[in-house]
Amino acid sequence: MPEGHSVHRIALQFERDFVGHTAAVSSPQGRFAEGAAEIDGLRMLSSRAIGKQMFLELENDRWLRIHLGLYGAWEFFGTVSSINEESETYGSIGAPRRRRAVRMAENDTEKPSDFDTFPPEPVGQVRVRLVTDETVADLRGPTACEVIDSAQVALAIEKLGPDPADDSSKAAEDRFVKRIRTKPTPIGLLLMDQSVVAGIGNVYRAELLFRARLDPHTPGKAISVPRLRALWQDWVYLLDIGIRTGMMLTRDGLSPAEQKKAVRSRADRYWVYKREGLPCLVCGTNILLEEMGARKLYWCPKDQKLPRNVTR
């Protein structure tokens, strides 16, 4: 399932290539024909991501709400702007240019395309297609796709926990701390609860807990306020890296050679995620794998011990 950084990057793509433009909207698949007709020909006014949900604002108080879920993805064709920072470490996906396709889901990757006509013919089950004079965006396989108004947008956002890429204020941090401190639920479950904090998925959950040296089974109410504030600030830090680079890079202190290796291989970007049975990179203890909240959880039983005064 796409994690928060991916959805923010998709929102940035829309901000750069669609906001301010009128879009022709259709549903090649047919399943969204009524909604597409409602917003066809309207100008896009803004693009916003909160957690794993994205909201595209159009004229006449029409909003397109998208939740990609497990299988959803956007694909962009035509003139597609770069959203990667220019840097020697991470590189760039390039300047805007024609005849290009970019698929954006949990791991967005550039796939050169050689279509002869613009817009290219839709391929596969395209739920929604948006077309400007220069750019096409095709949506496939979302969990949610609906046209709503601003009041409904406010209600949807109200149900979500804070997202530091949308609001990194002290008030947002306080909400995060308060929501966790009032619950006996294990922190490993709370971090995946989108009403507690928006955008964290399986990778970031495992990595944040390891970086904080927190046992995933620790009850939220048993974690001190300073540790929770540090956890929030680390989420701010990691999410920013993810949005800027398109990678969930969670290991710090890498040498230049290790950094290049991590950029090339996802397996070298993480402390514990998908490293079950392998030695912990800090203490050498084998990383454990268990199921928590119907998702796989990876953690180190030595570096992430429960405090002596806390029981599961």
The closest alpha carbon to 104, from 13, 194, 205, 165, belongs to 13
User: Concatenated DSSP letters for 271-304?
Assistant: SSTT-BTSBPTTT-PBBEEEEETTEEEEE-TTTT
DSSP SS3 for 49: strand
Q: Which residue has the tokens 């950084």?
A: 5
Q: Which of 2, 162, 164, 216 is catalytic?
A: 2
Tell me the C-alpha distance between 188 and 80, whole Å.
Answer: 38
**Tokens standing for residue 14:** 């829309």
To the query of whether residue 3 is one of the catalytic residues in this protein, the response is: yes
Q: Which of 15, 28, 52, 219 is catalytic?
A: 52
Q: For residue 154, what are the CA distances in angstroms to 15, 19, 53, 157, 193?
A: 20, 20, 13, 5, 19
Compute the half-sphere exposure of residue 87: CA atoms within 13 Å on the CB side of its CA. Answer: 12
DSSP SS3 for 20: coil
Tell me the C-alpha distance between 54 and 50, whole Å.
Answer: 6
Tell me the C-alpha distance between 82 and 138, whole Å.
Answer: 18
Q: Are 276 and 298 in contact (CB under 8 A)?
A: yes
Tell me the C-alpha distance between 221 and 126, whole Å.
Answer: 45
To the query of whether residue 96 is one of the catalytic residues in this protein, the response is: no
To the query of whether residue 251 is one of the catalytic residues in this protein, the response is: no
What b/e string do you get for 226-248 counting C-beta neighbours within 10 Å, with b at 16 or more?
ebbeebbebbeebbebbbbbbbb
**Tokens standing for residue 153:** 């947008």
Q: Which of 229, 244, 295, 296 is catalytic?
A: 295
To the query of whether residue 170 is one of the catalytic residues in this protein, the response is: no
DSSP state for residue 206 in the 8-state scheme = H
Q: Could you give the residue numbers annotated as active site?
A: 2-3, 52, 295
